[in-house]
Amino acid sequence: MRQLIVSTILFFLVSLSACGNLSSEPKLSIEDAWARAPAMEGGNGAVYFRVLNEGGEADRLLSVSSPVATAEMHQTVAKENGTMSMEPLDAVEVPARDEIEFKQGGMHIMLIGVADPMSIGDTIPFTLRFEHTGNLQITVEVRQ
């Protein structure tokens, strides 16, 4: 009887350890990434995307970079007088088994001083630097 109990416990422990979703590390993916081109040459653009973390540990987005312009993380904020402004973000937490979204009217990436013109369909390389995951390389398509 004791051997049956020990065997059953071992079976369940091995089964649980084989489950990828129970990882204690962050497991990040980027989805729905797109960019809005600047309204005028040399102006500012914006980038939007979702960060999914299927792992069991939180991670933090520390910085973003691109060869096409200076890239900064920002948050749109409503002021008491009804006006909107943007505030820079030092880092963004990506909770375990959750997602965050960079979207219009919320958190987003500002492309500051885009030197070369962008057209619909162009692609832009980006590097997202995370505290635990390290660098993730993504390509973002320019849309309207």
Amino acid at site 102: F
Q: By percentage, how much of the chain surpasses pLDDT 70?
A: 84
Residue 9 in any domain: the answer is no
> Considering the domain boundaries, does residue 106 fall inside one?
yes
Give yes or no for residue 144 having a pLDDT over 50. yes
33 with 52: CB under 8 angstroms? no
Is 121 a domain residue?
Answer: yes
Which domain covers residue 95, as residue numbers? 23-143
User: Do 111 and 70 form a contact (C-beta atoms < 8 A)?
Assistant: yes
pLDDT at 21: 46
Question: At 3, is the pLDDT very low, low, confident or very high (cuts 50, 70, 90)?
Answer: low
Across 14-18, 63-67, 76-80, which has the greatest mean pLDDT? 63-67
Q: How far, in Å, CA of 132 to CA of 51, rounded?
A: 14
| DSSP at 124 | E
Within 10 angstroms of residue 81's Cβ, the number of other Cβ atoms is: 5
What CATH code is carried by the domain that includes residue 92? 2.60.40.1890
Higher pLDDT, 117 or 96: 96
Q: To 5 degrees, how large is the angle CA 80–CA 105–CA 135?
A: 125
**The residue to which tokens 């040459």 are assigned:** 41
Tell me, what DSSP letter sits at residue 22? G
Domain assignment present for 86: yes
Domain-located, residue 1: no
Question: Does the residue 70 lie in any domain?
Answer: yes
Mean pLDDT of the chain: 87
**Amino acid 61: pLDDT:** 98
pLDDT tens for 6-41 read 444 545 444 444 454 455 789 999 999 999 999 887
pTM greater than the 0.85 cutoff: no
Q: Please answer whether residues 72 and 90 qualify as being in contact, where contact means their C-beta atoms are separated by less than 8 angstroms.
A: no
The number of helices, as runs of H, and strands, as runs of E, in the chain is 1, 10
For residues 43-59, average pLDDT: 97
Q: What total of structural domains would you count in the chain?
A: 1
Question: Looking at the domain assignment, is residue 57 inside a domain?
Answer: yes
Residue 16 domain-assigned? no
